[in-house]
Chain A
Amino acid sequence: MSPVIEIDGLTKSYRRFGRDSRRALDGFDMVVDSGQVHGFLGPNGSGKTTTLRTLLGLVRANTGTMRLLGVPVPGTLAGVMPRIGAIVESPQFFPNFSGRRTLDLLAIAGNVPRVRVDEVLETVGLSDRAADRVKTYSLGMRQRLAVASALLKSPDLLILDEPANGLDPGGIREMRDLMRSLAAHGTTVVLSSHILGEIQLICDSVTIISDGRRVAHGPVADVLAASDKGEYRVRVPDLTRAAAVLAAAGATVRTGSDHLVVADVADPGWVTATLARESLFLTELASLTPDLEGVFLELTGTMPTQGRHRQASEMAS
């Protein structure tokens, strides 16, 4: 698979009047292979949107190189832009234009056949409301309109910043199906989202950014596996005795409020056998497989800290 997005050593600082400049990207790297659904994750202010804006020529990078669909950008961006559909942050439209007119004008500007307008309206489920003014649309409908505008070009690469923003559960599911369908037909989809469960469900690979730097990347399974510590959650009636037995047998044990977390064991059967020998019988034994949310919170330093407020200065550490 050839990469459709290659970013190498991207830096970007925003000048602020009367204050020190703010570094949004600090040597960021990213690679997205073609035909994938790629998740782009990061906390608020981590540099996601700056990355996408820089990639799409809206923001000028300080240093670094970028290639889109194999060609260097922003130098030759105009050549590849007809093959890229994108929405960045919360897209807004003229409130007094109808959805159809909004798409019509983009289709004219982009030399896209007008028949595509009806097709994409149908795709995102807005055909019935196409003649209504955008100002009468809900947030979710505006989001659908934005996705429709990105689909107008029949893009090879679709970049969507928070596409599920404002969608109800049904809409999120439709969006997920749409992404899958597009990927199945060869479109590479890059999704920036905070809905980590969705990302885990539909993405083949992810890049996680924190404080302007990449902190994890690769296939979702690999990223999850890298954070798998081989821990098990154990519930027994007598937690104190069970903890002592397992520790004496060589396991590492942490005690929770109603369970134990056991690590450094060969397999879960060893836990069952060790406790059974002491007449301690399990009520629960579960592998603590990391999910994307846990990995994200840990890697980006945004895990809530019990008992005190998390400070902004702690995020980077």
Chain B
Amino acid sequence: MSVVRAEWRRLFARRFTRIMLAIVVALFAAVAIGVAVNYHRVTAADRAVAQQRMVADQQQVTTQLAECQREQSDPTAGGPYNPLPPDMTCEQMFTPPQLDWFLPEQWVLTEQGKAMLTVFGGLLALFGFAVGASYVGAEWSSGGMTNLLLWRPRRVPLLAAKLGTLLFGVAVSGLGLLVLWAGMLSAIAATRGQFGHLTTGVVESMALYGARGIALALATAALGFAISTVGRSTVAALGVAIGYVIVVEAAGHLVLANMLKVAKPERFFLSSYASAWLTKKVSFSASGVCTVTPDGGQSCGFTDWSISMSHAAVVLGLLLAILLAWAFIAFRRRDVT
């Protein structure tokens, strides 16, 4: 327990942790300001302008509807609306405009909150990875690990205490940041947008989005921790992460898609699994072989794939378990030179 207390203090005394927290808060603020600048509540002036545009559009639609009906009554007549697409009528084609169409787009919490919480989860995951990697990586590069082992020579309990402290720290930070983010979104809804129909179910659903974001940050923190432990430096973890993105997700995508003709190669990438975890499901669709139909047209088959939240949890969890096991075994057996 004393190790956990010391590690807890060290985690938040570190300048890197504080800077990363500040960066995340700054990014949150930037996103919130961006939303606040681009949206505003509908004013009387907005309504007046929209009304004018609607009336103008109404006149145009009425003219076009009359033209369309005239062309339909005389099948021999040509014109832009003859023939109409199958199963389509002039009335369907030229519906009367609504005032809403001409009002500025509204930011509605119930509609856009989940996307904003997905952004939160992504940022928090990056924060978790960086802090997790640096937390143990800096110990190796500074010689702090040697000092600590001279006080606490039982290696596995020591590493477990450090990991536990890190995860608890990231969870607490994540919770605090989630509250901050929710507060920012509420402030935007209250001042520059609308809350929408905020039922208990919607609130619960959004809370689960936030919780999954925190869970992903815990996973990435443990991932960074494990890679740094194996590689004995923060740079090793950051190098592996950047290398993965460049080699696998960028270059690998090009090779798979263009040279090996693999459809939707991103369905194999970890970022897709992370995205599926955050958004509950990610779907991919690719057109298959097209055949000529008897009437001379073309019929193309589509292949669909999806990654569910549970599927993502299994894949990411398995990867994490393997890396953590590797880190603990390496740490237990390694010569500290």
A contacts, CB < 8 Å to B: 14, 53, 56-60, 74, 77-78, 81, 84, 86, 88, 90-97, 101, 104-106, 108-111, 149, 153
Cα-based distance from A293 to B187 in the complex (angstroms): 76
- CB under 8 Å from chain A, chain B span 1-39: 2-3, 5-7, 9-10, 13-15
Cα-based distance from A108 to B11 in the complex (angstroms): 14
Cα-based distance from A120 to B138 in the complex (angstroms): 26
Secondary structure call for the A interface: loop
Contact between chains at A92 and B142 (CB < 8 Å): yes
Contact string, B316-337, partner A, CB cutoff 8 A, digits 1/0? 0000000000000000010111
Residues of B within 8 A of A153 (CB): 151
Cα-based distance from A4 to B150 in the complex (angstroms): 17
Q: How far is the CB of A137 from chain B (nearest CB, A)?
A: 14
Q: How far is the CB of A134 from chain B (nearest CB, A)?
A: 10
Cα-based distance from A110 to B5 in the complex (angstroms): 11
Contact for B6 among A91, A94, A105, CB less than 8 A:
A105
Cα-based distance from A74 to B332 in the complex (angstroms): 13
B contacts, CB < 8 Å to A: 2-3, 5-7, 9-10, 13-15, 138, 142-144, 146-154, 333, 335-337
Contact between chains at A60 and B2 (CB < 8 Å): no
Contact for A88 among B5, B150, B152, B154, CB less than 8 A:
B150
Contact between chains at A77 and B144 (CB < 8 Å): no
Q: How far is the CB of A152 from chain B (nearest CB, A)?
A: 9
Residues of A within 8 A of B150 (CB): 56, 58, 81, 84, 86, 88
Residues of A within 8 A of B337 (CB): 14, 53, 58-59
Contact for A108 among B6, B15, B147, B335, CB less than 8 A:
B6
Cα-based distance from A97 to B153 in the complex (angstroms): 23
Contact between chains at A108 and B9 (CB < 8 Å): yes
11 sample A-B contacts, Cβ–Cβ < 8 Å, listed by A number: A14-B337, A53-B335, A58-B149, A78-B152, A81-B150, A81-B151, A93-B143, A105-B10, A106-B147, A109-B2, A109-B148
Contact between chains at B2 and A58 (CB < 8 Å): no
Cα-based distance from A5 to B81 in the complex (angstroms): 100
Residues of A within 8 A of B7 (CB): 109
Q: How far is the CB of B336 from chain A (nearest CB, A)?
A: 4
Residues of B within 8 A of A78 (CB): 152-154
Residues of A within 8 A of B15 (CB): 96
Q: How far is the CB of B8 from chain A (nearest CB, A)?
A: 9
Secondary structure call for the B interface: helix
Contact between chains at A60 and B6 (CB < 8 Å): no
Residues of B within 8 A of A90 (CB): 143
Cα-based distance from A168 to B39 in the complex (angstroms): 67
- Using A93-B144, A105-B9 as known contacts, list a sample of 18 further A-B pairs with CB atoms less than 8 Å apart, ordered by residue number in A: A14-B337, A56-B150, A57-B149, A58-B146, A58-B336, A81-B150, A81-B152, A84-B150, A88-B150, A90-B143, A92-B143, A93-B143, A94-B142, A94-B144, A96-B15, A104-B9, A106-B148, A149-B147
Contact between chains at B151 and A109 (CB < 8 Å): yes
Contact between chains at B2 and A111 (CB < 8 Å): yes
Q: How far is the CB of A267 from chain B (nearest CB, A)?
A: 52
Contact between chains at B142 and A93 (CB < 8 Å): yes
Contact between chains at A77 and B6 (CB < 8 Å): no
Given contacts A60-B333, A93-B147, contact A108 B2 (CB under 8 A): yes
Contact between chains at A110 and B143 (CB < 8 Å): no
Residues of A within 8 A of B3 (CB): 109
Cα-based distance from A173 to B229 in the complex (angstroms): 40
Residues of A within 8 A of B10 (CB): 105
Cα-based distance from A74 to B155 in the complex (angstroms): 12
Q: How far is the CB of B24 from chain A (nearest CB, A)?
A: 20
Residues of B within 8 A of A95 (CB): 142
Cα-based distance from A206 to B258 in the complex (angstroms): 70
Given contacts A94-B138, A94-B144, A96-B15, contact A57 B9 (CB under 8 A): no
Contact between chains at B2 and A57 (CB < 8 Å): no
Cα-based distance from A160 to B335 in the complex (angstroms): 20
Contact between chains at B13 and A101 (CB < 8 Å): yes
The 3 closest A-B pairs by CB, nearest first: A92-B143, A109-B6, A108-B6
Point out which of B7, B14, B153 has the most chain A C-beta atoms below 10 A from its C-beta. Answer: B153
Point out which of A86, A88, A93, A94 has the most chain B C-beta atoms below 10 A from its C-beta. Answer: A94
A79 and chain B: residue at smallest CB distance: B153
Cα-based distance from A96 to B147 in the complex (angstroms): 16
Cα-based distance from A153 to B147 in the complex (angstroms): 13
Cα-based distance from A113 to B323 in the complex (angstroms): 37
Cα-based distance from A60 to B330 in the complex (angstroms): 13
Cα-based distance from A60 to B138 in the complex (angstroms): 23
Q: How far is the CB of B205 from chain A (nearest CB, A)?
A: 42
Given contacts A96-B15, A101-B13, contact A74 B142 (CB under 8 A): no
